Amino acid sequence: MVKREIVVKEKNGLHARPAGVLVKECGKFKSNMEIEYKGKKINAKSIMGVMALGVKENETITIIGNGEDEESAVEAVVSLVESNFGL
C-alpha cells in the first residue's frame, strides 16, 4: 500500500470537472485507489464518491493505492492534482 498526502489547489475544490479527470486517471490503473479526507475513505474510481467528499481549495487529501501498480498509480494521481487537474 502506498499513501501520499497532497493539497488540492483547484479554486473550486474537487467539483465535477476535476473529480471526473481524477476518476478517469485512477481508472487507468489496476490497483484499488482510494481518497481519504476528514476521516472518510472513498473509492477514487467513483465520481459520486469523489464529489461526495466535498473537498475545498487548499485542503489536504490522502491518495491511497493498493495493488500491482500502486506506486505508479499514486504518483500519476499526485502529479495530476499538482498540475491542477490539467485545467
Looking at residue 25, what is its pLDDT? Answer: 97
Assigned CATH class of 2-86: alpha beta
Catalytic site positions? 15
Q: Counting Cβ atoms within 10 Å, is residue 26 exposed (0-12), middle (13-18) or buried (19+)?
A: buried
Q: What's the whole-model pTM score?
A: 0.94
The letter for the amino acid at 58 is: N
Q: Dump pLDDT digits (tens) for 17-34.
A: 999 999 999 999 999 999
Ranges of each domain in the chain? 2-86
